Chain A
Amino acid sequence: MSADAVDRPGVAGRLDRFRESHYAAVALVAVTLLGFVAVAVHWAGFLAVGALLGLLSATLSRAAVHGLTFGGLVLLGFGGWLALSGALATWTSLGLLFGLSAGAALGLPTLAAVGVRALR
């Protein structure tokens, strides 16, 4: 059990136990996969996925890592799609807009994950 977790009653306790179980990893993968779909629909998908990742993370630091990992995976996949479209170099040359893209991908899910996990 993680250092910041203690035995809690009710739903919180069940959530703590789930986070430490093998099912947590499966759930993280599922959320990540669903997250790819969600962010393709709306940027708020980053927040929703981040929140779920935070909920599933065993610790605050893991929540941050999961949020950043998800954002990184999205960027990787999106960059690959742009590369296939011949538009990767153009994307990276967009200046502020590129910064906003990368910042949104990495920042939004991380903030959501950390924010949710901070509430335990």
Chain B
Amino acid sequence: MSPSPIRVAVAVGCAAAILAAAVFGGHYLGLAAPASGSLYDTADRDAERIENPYGEASVWYDDYGVPHVEAENERALYFAVGYLQARDRLFQMDLQRRLIGGELSEAFGERAVSTDRFYRSMDFQSAAEASWAEIRETEAGPGVEAYSDGVNHYMTTQPLPPEFGLLEYEPDPWTPVDTLIVGKQIAWSLSGNFADLERATVRERLGEEAARELYPDRLPHDTPVIRDEADYEPFDPAVAAGVAEPSGGADTAESASLGGDPTSLANWVGRYDHQPGIGSNNWVVSGEHTASGKPILANDPHLQLTVPGVWYEMHLKTPNMETRGVSFPGVPFVVIGRTADVAWGVTNVGGDFTDLYRYETRNRSGTEQYRYRGEWRDVATEEETIRVADGEDVTVTVRKTVHGALIRRDGARVGVAWPGFSATNESLGVYQLNHAEDVDDARDALRTWDVPAQNFVVATRDGETLYYPAGRYPLRVADGEVVRGDRIFDGSAGEGEWRGYTPYGTSNWSGFVPFESIPHVEDPDLLATANQRTMDDPPYYVGNGMTYADPYRGERIYDVLERDAESGDGADGGGITAASTKTLQRDVRSLAAAEFVPYARAGRAGANDSGRALVTELDGWDGEMRADSRAALVYALWLEEFRTATFEDEFAAANLSADAYPKHVVLADLPADSRWFDRAGTARTETRADVAALALNRTAARLGRTDYETYGDYNRLRLTHPFDQAFLNYDTRPMNGSAFTVFNFRAQRATQAGSSWRMVVDFGNESNSAGVIPGGQSGLFWSEHYDDQLPLWADGEYKSLTMDRPDGEPDLVFVDGGGDSEARRGGTAGDDPGNGSSRVVAPVGVIVGIRGGVGA
């Protein structure tokens, strides 16, 4: 008997449904089907025994998933580090190298093509290759190679993070150049800067006087990093820059130009340079001012906040070294942290480390040429293909001149020089810091630091302290004299060149400031940096009002440190303690508010009823940017409106975006009757009070349109994974802090930024040393350590940062995999000083996630 038609229909329907599921959902079933889905491969990982070709190592994970690694030699150690970082952060590592290498489109599709175009145009890949060519010959080289081997061992033996399955690709093997390119990414994000292009645009649109007024050479404040005498060996910048030497055929190329309206170019590159508002704090206090009589060091670098976080904490130990702190995933060494005897922290030197050049150009038989010192040269070009997921491949032409990358957009073109285009040795610098036993070791490590220039503070167990803004500071020559770098130079005339700099090759840095001549402070009693001006009258040009940060954090830190040094809460009756240091890292008092709130009050008379009511809400406010504060909300919104109302008319008329508005301290310093307060299109002449009143009215209207009740409604933590899926994003929450408070968090841009790592090292009492990251150690959303530190971080709390490891059996064991004896010996200086190269090569990196989101 045949089945009834109904049953046949049921069978066919079921078969069709199954077929449709297999055809259209097969990939996702492979990902998510219970038990077999690759999504779950990383949900539960048993204890692993891993073969290590370089020797034995053991790993203990603590309560926050921080690996404590002990190895018999350094290569075995760094192999383990590579494996561990891949285990926790492999997708993030791959994303970072794709970002800076211009390969995001291959994973994310067409929306990332613009980002890839920029990074390909800059050819960071070649710069990283040049760096690796130098680093591999130093004592850090074997560690970088072993690290790469460890990453690759993980990739080939263990399940990949689920993100790869979701994007349907597998990562390429990790190479030492990838580690170096991660360093370039960090360095560029901190010191890449197109401010000169922005200033030139403003100068052209608003006039020379306006540019000088809004972008002063020196920001109006009295709290540089170095407030007293600096230590440095005097030198003659003119001699170092080679002023007296023949110019080699320099001429004046009157027709050298940008080739067109730079607006589009400026808007494009502006997305990828140093992000405004990104800054950091660090300070060091000697035993003179601490309750214990031993130094205390604090650091909290402010970077874009990402999921997972930009830092990875680890504690590394061999018979010859021990270090603990944070690194960027992809970098084997501790970038910020401590050894048993030395601690160091960094902030960015807000200097000018990027120069731009215009050229006289022509086209000869299809070849693009530029005039250089009296002769025509071909622009070096190379065609590269950007592979695009689910789209057509895109071809990009990489152009270079003698100065570095030549980037173009809509007819405008500019040559870019940046020290990081050269081979640099940051990796060696941090490697050496990881081995430091005293302040001399630390100083020697900083001597090898190239890019980005960083404000290093150092403290030692023996009581020594040091401040050194280490890095490569270029000297520029134009018209026979050393000049500032805040202009677009005539590249055809050879103007503003950096002597001893070879982009995408090896530099000898002869035209840069000698290390000993960089103003620093030996054994400071109390010194703080917050990206403000390094010193008032440096012996050479370092930066300008566009590159340095507003002074508010720096001023507040010095105020509190001096107060605590006098009266502190130390048990001995005074002095700074780890507790008072942590309290300062939690400080949310805004000195910007102290400066601007009186201006808001001055607007009361001219405001409407709603605006006047807001002024009343500011009465009695202590200037603390707390999530539960109504006054902080009113102030924050008012300040935005005040700044906009001040500049919007002139800037919009000149087709300049709000990104070009000057620093807040410049706004605060404008006279009450400044022309910038006069509103375009009105008969009367407005003053600061009038604009303040307008801003009050706008603020009142804005509050009426939103559901903001307190500052935390506005200043809300929203950290999103690159996929921006609810299960991958961190929980949102109201936050204390602002861009101008020591406790640093700002939510007001497309990408959120703030303290990416808080660290306190107390050599007076080890148990007080502490740190915390905004998120968790693991990038795997299954992990209990995906975001377990986020509440601590948001509340200003810490976890331990001592040199102790967990007791008991190790969680992971790396067994001797039988590598050849030479590999096991290592070759790193820490294991065999005789093998270590004495070459002094270049420096580090600091990583940031995908700026502005993928394809932003």
Measured CB to CB, the residues of A under 8 A from B are 6, 8, 36, 39-47, 60, 74-75, 78, 81-82, 84-87, 90-91, 93-95, 97-98, 100-102, 104-105, 107-108, 111-112, 114-116, 118-120
Contacts and interface: CB of A to CB of B under 8 A. Distances in A.
A120 B6 CA distance: 12
B28 interface: yes
A44 B214 CA distance: 67
Contacts of A39: 33-36
Given A42-B36, A87-B43, 18 more contacts: A6-B1, A39-B34, A39-B36, A41-B36, A86-B782, A86-B784, A90-B782, A93-B726, A98-B32, A100-B29, A101-B33, A101-B37, A105-B33, A108-B18, A111-B17, A112-B18, A115-B13, A120-B3
A19 B13 CA distance: 24
Interface in B10-49: 10-11, 13-15, 17-18, 21-22, 25, 28-37, 39-40, 43-44
B781 interface: yes
Contacts of B29: 43, 100, 104
B727 interface: yes
Contacts of B36: 39-43, 45
Given A87-B782, A104-B29, A108-B18, A8 B1 contact: yes
Q: Which 5 A-B pairs have the closest CB atoms?
A: A115-B14, A43-B33, A85-B44, A118-B11, A118-B10
B725 interface: yes
A104 B34 contact: yes
Contact of A119 (B11, B30, B727): B11
A97 to B, nearest CB: 5
Nearest to B11: A118
A85 B782 contact: yes
B394 interface: no
Contact of A101 (B18, B32, B782): B32
A94 B7 contact: no
Contacts, number: 105
A44 to B, nearest CB: 8
Q: Most A CB atoms within 10 A — which of B21, B781, B784?
A: B21
Contacts of B34: 39, 74-75, 78, 101-102, 104-105
B7 to A, nearest CB: 4
B594 to A, nearest CB: 43
A6 B3 CA distance: 12
Contacts of B15: 115
A106 B33 CA distance: 11
Nearest to A12: B1
A118 B11 CA distance: 5
B727 A95 contact: yes
A42 B38 CA distance: 10
Q: Most B CB atoms within 10 A — which of A8, A84, A85, A116?
A: A85
B856 interface: no
A43 B727 contact: no
Main SS class of interface, A: helix
B300 to A, nearest CB: 29
B8 interface: yes
A41 B38 CA distance: 11
A120 B784 CA distance: 49
22 contacts: A39-B33, A41-B36, A43-B30, A43-B33, A47-B18, A60-B10, A82-B43, A86-B784, A93-B726, A97-B28, A97-B32, A98-B32, A100-B25, A100-B32, A101-B34, A102-B34, A105-B33, A111-B17, A115-B13, A115-B15, A115-B18, A119-B3
Contact of A104 (B7, B33, B726, B782): B33
Contacts of A36: 35
Given A39-B33, A112-B18, A81 B39 contact: no
Contacts of B32: 94, 97-98, 100-101, 104
A44 B781 CA distance: 26
B564 to A, nearest CB: 42
Nearest to A46: B33
B96 to A, nearest CB: 24
Given A90-B782, A118-B10, A81 B44 contact: yes
Contact of B7 (A8, A90, A102, A118): A118
Contacts of A46: 33
Nearest to A104: B33
A110 B782 CA distance: 29
A118 B8 contact: yes
Contacts of A82: 40, 43-44
Interface string B490-520: 0000000000000000000000000000000
A75 B44 CA distance: 17
A115 B11 contact: yes
A38 to B, nearest CB: 9
Contacts of B782: 85-87, 90
Given A100-B25, A104-B29, A114 B14 contact: yes
Contacts of A6: 1
A90 B18 contact: no
A49 to B, nearest CB: 12
Given A85-B43, A105-B33, A115 B10 contact: yes
Nearest to A99: B32
B27 to A, nearest CB: 11
Interface in B707-754: 725-727
A41 B37 CA distance: 9
Given A41-B36, A108-B18, A108-B21, A114 B781 contact: no
Contacts of A81: 44
Given A8-B1, A40-B36, A95 B725 contact: yes
A60 B494 CA distance: 87
Nearest to B7: A118
Interface in B741-786: 781-782, 784
A116 B18 CA distance: 12
B687 to A, nearest CB: 54
A107 B13 CA distance: 13
Contacts of B781: 90
Nearest to A74: B34
A118 B33 contact: no
B727 A93 contact: yes
